[in-house]
Chains A and B, each alone.
Chain A
Amino acid sequence: MLPTAVGAALAGRRRRVLLSSVSSDSHTWNLVFLQLLLEEMGHDVTNLGACVPDEMLVQECAALRPDLVVISTVNGHGHADGKRLIGKVRARPETRHTPVVIGGKLGITGGTQATASHELVMAGFDAVFQDDADPAALGRFLDTLEPAPNTREPGQDVLERGPDVLEPGPDVLEPAS
């Protein structure tokens, strides 16, 4: 799931993280929290804030060359906005292989939506984190974001996927050093 994916992408050294919402989402508490959390872990965070147009995200991503892009959205348009956005990210050479994960409340109906997660991974996300309104999710996020350095078994896929995310995305996450 996302926490492991993020942790794996970030573990070991100071990383540059590009944090953003999607174009139609005006919520920011999720972004404020994630920025504080990532900074406390010692990473450099560029927070693009609310209602980020697709083109702006792609441009910032191409310019900053972050180690990881975290898309956090909670307004219920995440599936549609995320699919459109990742297509544009993957279409540009500089950002084709940048690790990008998406999380939050992605649909308007609540609950987990396995098919929709699968579609997002197929569209190019490296991992999808569905928030089915369990408030402990952010707590678990916090707990698992920084995995202990030696907990991975040799040969284990760096990017652990939840059962609702069946297909591997682009094989781009470097093993933690």
Chain B
Amino acid sequence: MSAARGSFVGLSEVRRSAGLLVQPRMGFSGPEQMRRGLAATRRARAATVGTLTLDSYTRVKDYASVERALAEDTGLNGYPIVTHGVETTREVLEGIRGPGFPVQIRHGSALPDDIFTTLVAAGLDATEGGPVSYCLPYSRVPLAVATDAWARCCEQFARLRDDRGIEPHLESFGGCMMGQMCPPSLLIAITLLEGLFFHQHGLRSVSLSFAQGTHPRQDDEAIAVLRSLAAELLPRDTDWHIVVYTYMGKYPRTPEGARHLLRGAAELAVRGGAARLIVKTPVESRRIPTIEENVEALEFAGAAAAAVEGAPAPPVQDTGIAAEARLLVDAVLDLDADVGKALVAAFAKGYLDVPYCLHADNRGRSRGYIDEAGRLRWASVGAMPIRGVTGSREREHPVGSAELLTALSYVERTHDRLALHGGDPRTPGAHHELDAGTTASDLRQT
């Protein structure tokens, strides 16, 4: 690990002393509101990390639409950092970002050069994304083009070390992409491969992600696998930690159900030894949450994590996630010594194939489904080299629209029902019911 300072370097140690770091997905169009949001995040009664989430016009470099929206005051779904520019962004951060309160840029761009240039000039040193995870689900950019762009951006970002003595940090979004219907092994493989890609292009402080899925025990296994493969595969000079995302799919509609899900994510992060948790608010499925709603969710998640700190974790099962993830990673790395080229080749061959991803460079032959116990499974692995590893054959019938719709609302439905059936999320009993993984079958009978 480099001796250079950097706001995200050593977050694992920070987490050990401060508790689970909780971070919003907050982003507002206006600099004043963005600054208020950051200040409120910092003040929140939890160990917090700040976020500037960018708007989706900036993500696709449609700066004309940003200008129009700002001129007409119609509101953007995030902070347009490139349009607001370096000076304004410095003012937003002034006196708020600093030791003890790191701030990360979250964006979603396959061609992030303008974003990297602006954030570095504004004095920031942490962002996220990746050549696969910000290309396939979010853009029409060819994977090879996005990979080249990300390689250049990583190398430019890494120059902060020599130029200013700052160790920059990059988080891979790979463990989240379309995760609500993707079995964990592929998410683990992609975030690991992106971490290796970042390292190959000069970065020495990275985080690997995993999004809370449909089944707590499956998630525990997945994070354990991610941790062990990261320890083995990331070069020894890498400063790294794991970041957990609160479920990325359709969110429960009841406040109790939403809190239950968020509590589950916080507890998952603690059990899995993650340093950071990306928090969602109950209203996020309907609209952009307010500052107050973000703070409330951060404090709730921080308290939920603190409540289970040090509690004995149940033994982790082995359902084959480790074997699948390793096969995927090895198959890709065998294709080329250059991780970026290997990733592009792997998608072309279908060795990596993200279920339900419409991007032209994704084969689109794999399919995931949620089984009777609520676990994410393969309905089809396409050409990925993992056929039969998890011990079950692929399904005979395809996933149709009705099953897809039911599956996409599975988490929402099960948590809302728990809440409605008297499962106060603050009571250990209700929590235990979900933790035990018996929710799906139990609830189907009610």
Q: Least Cβ distance of B236 to chain A in Å?
A: 36
- B427 CB-CB contact with A under 8 Å: no
- B31 CB-CB contact with A under 8 Å: no
Contact B56 A25 (CB under 8 A): yes
Q: Which of B65, B180, B358 contacts A24 (CB under 8 A)?
A: B65
Once the chains are docked, how many angstroms separate the CA of A50 from the CA of B362?
13
Q: Which of B137, B288, B405 contacts A139 (CB under 8 A)?
A: B405
Chain A residues, Cβ within 8 Å of B65: 23-24, 77, 80-81, 84
Say yes or no: A49-B359 contact (C-beta < 8 A), given A26-B137, A40-B400, A75-B77: yes
Contact B137 A50 (CB under 8 A): yes
Contact B56 A24 (CB under 8 A): yes
Once the chains are docked, how many angstroms separate the CA of A111 from the CA of B283?
12
List the one stretch of A27-35, A63-71, A154-162 in contact with chain B.
A27-35
Say yes or no: A108-B287 contact (C-beta < 8 A), given A50-B137, A50-B138, A50-B139: yes
Say yes or no: A29-B408 contact (C-beta < 8 A), given A50-B139, A76-B288, A110-B286: yes
Once the chains are docked, how many angstroms separate the CA of A132 from the CA of B253?
12
Contact A26 B139 (CB under 8 A): yes
Say yes or no: A135-B56 contact (C-beta < 8 A), given A28-B358, A29-B408, A108-B75: no
Contact B358 A76 (CB under 8 A): no
Instruction: Tell me the interface secondary structure of chain B in the complex.
Output: loop
Contact A110 B358 (CB under 8 A): no
Chain A residues, Cβ within 8 Å of B285: 133
A70-97 contact mask (Cβ, 8 Å, vs B): 1 or 0: 0000011101110010000000000000
Contact A23 B287 (CB under 8 A): no
- B356 CB-CB contact with A under 8 Å: yes
- A122 CB-CB contact with B under 8 Å: no
Q: Which of B59, B250, B402 contacts A26 (CB under 8 A)?
A: B59
Contact B404 A32 (CB under 8 A): yes
**Best-surrounded residue of B140, B402, B409 (most CB of chain A within 10 A):** B140
- A109 CB-CB contact with B under 8 Å: yes
Contact B62 A26 (CB under 8 A): no
Number of interface residues of B (CB under 8 A): 41
Once the chains are docked, how many angstroms separate the CA of A106 from the CA of B358?
22
Chain A residues, Cβ within 8 Å of B75: 108-109
- A62 CB-CB contact with B under 8 Å: no
Chain A residues, Cβ within 8 Å of B400: 36, 40
- A37 CB-CB contact with B under 8 Å: yes
Say yes or no: A80-B59 contact (C-beta < 8 A), given A49-B358, A108-B288: no
Contact B56 A33 (CB under 8 A): no
Once the chains are docked, how many angstroms separate the CA of A79 from the CA of B140?
22
Say yes or no: A32-B140 contact (C-beta < 8 A), given A25-B56, A80-B69: no
Q: Which of A47, A51, A135 contacts B140 (CB under 8 A)?
A: A51
Contact B140 A50 (CB under 8 A): yes
Chain A residues, Cβ within 8 Å of B359: 49-50
Chain B residues, Cβ within 8 Å of A114: none
- A52 CB-CB contact with B under 8 Å: yes
Say yes or no: A138-B405 contact (C-beta < 8 A), given A23-B60, A26-B139, A80-B65: yes
Contact A32 B358 (CB under 8 A): yes
Contact A36 B77 (CB under 8 A): no
Q: Which of B56, B249, B358 contacts A77 (CB under 8 A)?
A: B56
Contact A36 B401 (CB under 8 A): yes
Say yes or no: A133-B57 contact (C-beta < 8 A), given A28-B356, A51-B139, A142-B405: no
- A105's nearest neighbour on chain B, judged by CB, is B286
- B446 CB-CB contact with A under 8 Å: no
Chain A residues, Cβ within 8 Å of B360: 49
Q: Least Cβ distance of A71 to chain B in Å?
A: 15
Say yes or no: A135-B253 contact (C-beta < 8 A), given A37-B401, A108-B77: yes
What are 27 residue pairs bridging A and B, where the CB atoms are less than 8 Å apart in the complex? A23-B65, A24-B59, A26-B59, A26-B139, A29-B178, A29-B408, A32-B358, A33-B401, A36-B399, A47-B358, A51-B60, A51-B140, A52-B140, A76-B287, A77-B56, A77-B65, A84-B65, A108-B76, A108-B287, A110-B286, A110-B287, A132-B286, A133-B286, A133-B287, A135-B412, A139-B405, A142-B402
> Other CB < 8 Å A-B pairs besides A33-B401, A36-B399, A77-B56, 17 of them?
A23-B60, A24-B57, A24-B59, A26-B108, A28-B137, A28-B356, A29-B408, A36-B401, A40-B400, A50-B139, A76-B77, A76-B287, A76-B288, A108-B75, A133-B287, A138-B405, A142-B405
Q: Which 3 A-B pairs have the closest CB atoms?
A: A110-B287, A36-B401, A133-B286
* Residues on A facing B (Cβ under 8 Å): 23-26, 28-29, 31-33, 36-37, 40, 47, 49-53, 75-77, 79-81, 84, 105, 108-111, 132-133, 135, 138-139, 142
